[in-house]
Amino acid sequence: MRHKLVILLIAVIAACSTCRPSKATRLDIGMKAPSFVLEDMLGNGQVNSSKVFYYNRATVVVIWSMTCPTCRQALLEVQHLYEKYSPKAVAFLGINYDIENIQGVKAFVKGERIGFPMLWDKRARVAKSYRAADYTFSIFIVDENGRIALAQYDHPPDLEQRISRKLDALLKRQK
């Protein structure tokens, strides 16, 4: 009996280790950021990431799902960062890949007064290209050369500080 329990436990641990992508399946610092063209979910036209990356000193890309309560909280933190850094030529792009509750997503964005463009990735192609489709929240910073400067595949408790430190370092380096 004990032998079967150990085998079952090993099988469960092995199965759980495949629940999250390994580090090898993530984007690395210095990689070229995948480009995309997505529709703004509030009807403000299309956004071409290549143009956004080119015309800004840095771009923060947030990929999130409405199904995650901490993601909604993280977006409010990102909104604070947007208010602080957008005057410094830092762009912010939110990308939502929900397909079932898009009206709820729009209501949340409007109700919380999220000021940066919120794009709809209805086929999760961008989430997949950023290797973020297996997470409910991921955030990336793309530098002025279109390269990944930060890739965060979760919502750490110090998200705002991490992003601020990285943006401050990028902006200081570019002077």
What pTM value is reported for the model?
0.83
Instruction: Check: CB of residue 140 under 8 Å from CB of residue 130.
Output: yes
The CATH architecture of the domain made up of 31-174 is 3-Layer(aba) Sandwich (3.40)
What is the pLDDT, as a whole number, of residue 71?
84
| DSSP label of 87 | G
Nearest to 160 by CA among 57, 84, 88, 94: 84
Asked if pLDDT for residue 87 goes beyond 80, the answer is yes
What is the pLDDT, as a whole number, of residue 136?
84
Report domain extents, the chain: 31-174
Instruction: Check: CB of residue 90 under 8 Å from CB of residue 121.
Output: no
What's the pLDDT tens digit per position in 97-150? 988 888 999 999 999 999 999 999 999 999 999 999 888 899 999 999 999 999
Q: 30-40 burial, b for 16+ CB within 10 Å, e for fewer?
A: eeebbebebee
Please give the distance of CA 28 from its chain centroid, rounded to a whole number.
Answer: 14
Asked if pLDDT for residue 24 goes beyond 60, the answer is no
